[in-house]
Amino acid sequence: MGSASINEYRHEKASPDLIERLHSRVSIRLSGQGINGFRELLRRRLRENRNLAISLSLCMGCGACLTVCPAYLATHNIKNSPLGRIALARSLVRGSINENSINEAYTYFWQCLTCRRCAWACPFGVDVADISRTIRSLLYEIGLAPNYVAGVINNLESMGNFLGLPEDVIKEVILSVVDQIKHEKGVNVKVKVNEPAYAMLLPSACADYTVAVNTLKGYILLLNELGIDFTLSTRVPDITNYGLFMDERHMRLIAERIVEESRRLGVKLVIAGECGHGWRVFKNYVVPRLKEYGIEGTHILYIAADAIRRGLIKLDALVNGDLTYMYMDPCHYARGGDLVKEPRFILSNTVMRYAELNDKPN
């Protein structure tokens, strides 16, 4: 895809039916004012969130964020940059609002990756990801959201998982993974499904139960090796939380399912599996909520790193070949979830040669 077509790209919009279904779950009522009501919604949000208002006024247009914004580097379109998004947000507060400006907002705020690289580079720490998430939430409030994101949120809220898989399919996948481990590794692993246990494992349904099932095998093998009594839930098998991208009311609704299921199963610990944005929500929202009920939350990478440090598992770096490996920080792990050292520690113990991006060659 050339940069011109990326620039013009606008996500297909969700149908009014789907939007209405989502609105009703978080008690949003369309005012009937449509785009005319947008400015009042935005001004109200700025009054409620002073950080956001300060960010919008702080930007002095220095451009330091341009060299780090992946969306800008890919498109070379100033509207698709932190600076451009701030200018657009300011015009929504003060300029004229019409169908064009709303469409422009829909296009460019939904092209922001919410990676927070701009906040890291900006001398004032202006976090454009927060501005993007706010504008998206208000666009959603007036009825505009990408079909894909709204569909995933609907699946998570109605079926408990990203893909909208029925519970018996999830259970079949888990049982089949247990069989595969026995066949491939000759190991009989113990996996509880929907039963009380010490811990609940929370993988990502879009990957770990489907295209990246080896990851799920890895979690199961590791927890068995460490003797941790754990369960998987078919009701809440998913750490994915697309509410983060669109609207915090949905983010909380989806996240509360984890809290509710952890209490129902009586676990003492919830273990997050692989998923960058899922971890960001889990660490910053779910863990404090779990603590209110005396339940702890952690990431599988903390458990793996601890097991390596204490010599509880043996690793054979030779199986990963005579190559040099490098770890690139995913946006939400690093800048949203403070998970920086453990992946490096694990990788450097799993391969023959490990390097950081800026290391000088020997």
Residue 146 vs 237, nearer CB to ligand SF4: 146
Q: Which of 53, 74, 102, 113 binds ligand SF4 (CB under 6 A)?
A: 113
State the nearest-atom distance from the C-beta of 331 to ligand SF4, in Å: 7
- Residue 160: left (phi > 0), alpha (psi -120 to 50), or beta? left
Check residue 115 for interaction with ligand SF4 (CB under 6 A).
Answer: yes
State the nearest-atom distance from the C-beta of 74 to ligand SF4, in Å: 9
State the nearest-atom distance from the C-beta of 7 to ligand SF4, in Å: 14
- Ranges of H-type helices in the chain: 3-8, 16-25, 38-48, 50-58, 70-75, 82-94, 99-109, 117-121, 128-141, 147-159, 167-185, 213-225, 243-246, 248-265, 276-281, 287-291, 300-309, 331, 337, 341-348
CA distance 187 to 225: 10
Q: Which of 22, 42, 56, 71 binds ligand SF4 (CB under 6 A)?
A: 71
Q: Which of 88, 89, 129, 159 binds ligand SF4 (CB under 6 A)?
A: 129
Residue 86 vs 177, nearer CB to ligand SF4: 86
Q: Which of 29, 32, 50, 61 binds ligand SF4 (CB under 6 A)?
A: 61
CA distance 231 to 209: 15
Judged by CB under 6 A, the chain residues 308 through 347 that form the site for ligand SF4 are none
Contacts for 122 with CB less than 8 Å, ≥ 6 apart:
59, 64, 65, 82
Residue 59 vs 351, nearer CB to ligand SF4: 59
Q: Which of 14, 42, 59, 236 binds ligand SF4 (CB under 6 A)?
A: 59
Helix (H) or strand (E) holding 275: none
Radius of gyration (C-alpha) of the chain in whole angstroms: 22
Coil/strand/helix, residue 338: coil
Check residue 352 for interaction with ligand SF4 (CB under 6 A).
Answer: no
Residue 85 vs 192, nearer CB to ligand SF4: 85
- Which spans of this chain sit near ligand SF4 (rule: CB under 6 A)? 59-65, 68-71, 82-83, 85-86, 112-118, 121-122, 124, 126, 128-129, 132
